[in-house]
A and B are shown apart, each in its own frame.
Chain A
Amino acid sequence: AQKVTQAQTEISVVEKEDVTLDCVYETRDTTYYLFWYKQPPSGELVFLIRRNSFDEQNEISGRYSWNFQKSTSSFNFTITASQVVDSAVYFCALSGRTDSWGKLQFGAGTQVVVTP
């Protein structure tokens, strides 16, 4: 079965500091997708990024960047120069053929608190 582990339950930073969220996954699939979602205090789930297992190129999108390493089964996410609006719960998730493409296996989430 697939598994996603987010070992950090809560991270507190002061505005403008960088925040890195860790995600480690387990899967037997050779083809899979990894996602990060954000859940602000209002409760909705907001899609942030998607990576497929064949694309290990790391990218930067605005203040967000991610580091995908298949060798260590990690998909870490960084917020640069954090802002108060970044305060939210962040979920890492995995989708693969074994469990079904229609299923997302979520980690437990990391609460990010950004103080002014």
Chain B
Amino acid sequence: EAQVTQNPRYLITVTGKKLTVTCSQNMNHEYMSWYRQDPGLGLRQIYYSMNVEVTDKGDVPEGYKVSRKEKRNFPLILESPSPNQTSLYFCASSSPERSYEQYFGPGTRLTVT
């Protein structure tokens, strides 16, 4: 089954404690992205990757890091989380063969206290 998986699905943490949210896709897609969703703001892109070792900033990259060492994986790293990073996070993948339709993971709800 074609899918994008994210872990963990829910996470409560404290300010400053480094965390990683994993994302993996099994469709051999070139593009992968991270979005955050906040009430009234829709989804905003944090980072995206066009292929292995190629990443670029989205609209709201501050406070986040990413890496793309393998085509299937695109982890999101918060080195020092802060309460304003409390949000719902989505990972997505896409490919030119599917007209860049983005396949989304189930979401990770992060709370930073």
Contact = CB atoms under 8 A, between A and B. Distances in A.
Interface of A: 9, 33, 35, 37, 43-45, 47, 50, 52, 91, 95, 100-109
Q: Chain A contact residues: over half helix, strand or loop, or mixed?
A: strand
Contacts of B102: 35, 47, 104
Contacts of B31: 101-102
A106 B33 contact: no
Contacts of B49: 102
B42 A108 contact: yes
Contacts of B44: 106
A47 B103 CA distance: 8
B24 interface: no
A9 B40 CA distance: 8
Contacts of A35: 101-102
A35 B45 CA distance: 16
A72 B101 CA distance: 23
B40 A102 contact: no
A103 B33 contact: yes
A102 B41 contact: no
A108 B56 contact: no
Interface string B38-74: 0011111100111000001010000000000000000
Contacts of A33: 99-101
A103 B107 contact: no
